[in-house]
Chains A and B, each alone.
Chain A
Amino acid sequence: MSDLNLYEETAREAAIAYGNKSLIDYSSIGESDDEVWNRRNLLPQKPRKVPKGIYFLTAGSQEDIKTLISPWPEKEDPFTQSDLLDSEEDMAQEIIYRIKTTLSVPYRERLANRLLTLVNDAKEEDPSSPGITVGSLRSFYNFFQSHPNLKYPAISLMPEDNIYASWRSEQNRLFSVHFLPNGDTRFVIFKPNERHPDKQMRISGIATTDILMETVTPYGVWDWISE
């Protein structure tokens, strides 16, 4: 079978993998404003108050990994679209800061800098854009936190400002992952057909971030994307 489409099968798995767990992380409570990262002063810093409430992360639940928390600024005025965008920007900024400081990969600073470049690229053409979708960033963080031995990928955005990461290697091998905001990923694999070297296998599918790598393991992806 040279071409295989995994959509139906993995969609079924995805439904199972979601579960209904909520992850709670208290790690940002009490963080002072001075500690909030300032994206190397590329964007104006706004004073924020950290609310006392607890924040829940519901998508892409994974055990035994560090989880994210992104406090919403306390609002006294009616909530507007502009406020929402500002809050998403703050959350995106905080997740990129966590990638830069806490991710267990040797290239975390390079990764964060690339994401900042993409935020600025997105905003250069559309100043109203939050830069990178917060849910996509969260999935991206969780994926690398779960798989710290991955090689550094090529990172770009999709039209909806979700993260798209690709690992290419010689012999026409490709593994690309689109990190969707809801914790799903859509992936693409190109690889040589070992029995028919003149042909290529092309596979695409969908899986939650937490089961992505086990889903693609049968295709030998680890061989060219991990250190």
Chain B
Amino acid sequence: MKGDKIPNQHHITRYCQPKYILDGQIQPGAFKLRAGEESLSVNWLEFLNCSSRESEIAEIQNIYSTKLNVGGRAKIAVLNVGEVRQKVLTESPDGRNLEVIHDSSTDDPSHSGIYNLKQDDELIAELILETVHEAYSART
């Protein structure tokens, strides 16, 4: 339900534009807020109720294709909620407690957000990047 905290054992995806990709590898800019943004947009994988990671990613690719102009080299980063939160809590200089909250919309029911980020959080973007263990092409 909208406003729910996503459980630590669940997973989220982040759309990574080509400008955040180098030699197929995701770079920290993918995890930094844009000016005026309150949270980092992500999608809640378990909410999709798919039977496998493959079908989850196919569904996410489908969502992105309807909402975004998906670049040819764009990627999908998969993150574990608990790992990201723990990493940032224990390794950021200010012990930042990130919250990952369901923030659904009619055209994107699994849409969620990572909250408690700031505009100048390059260090935290680097920490989040270190928790990316899976990445997929954003195009079908």
Contact = CB atoms under 8 A, between A and B. Distances in A.
Most buried by A among B21, B69, B122: B122
B122 A155 contact: no
A75 B106 CA distance: 46
Interface in B69-123: 69, 71-74, 91-94, 120, 122-123
B5 interface: no
B28 A204 contact: no
A163 B86 CA distance: 29
A156 B120 contact: no
B29 A121 contact: no
Contacts of B35: 159-160
Given A166-B27, A176-B28, A204-B93, A156 B19 contact: yes
A191 interface: no
Given A154-B22, A157-B20, A121 B122 contact: no
A31 interface: no
B29 A159 contact: yes
B57 interface: no
Which secondary structure dominates where chain A touches chain B? strand
A63 interface: no
Nearest to A164: B29
B6 interface: no
Contacts of A33: none
Interface of B: 17-22, 27-29, 32-35, 68-69, 71-74, 91-94, 120, 122-123, 126
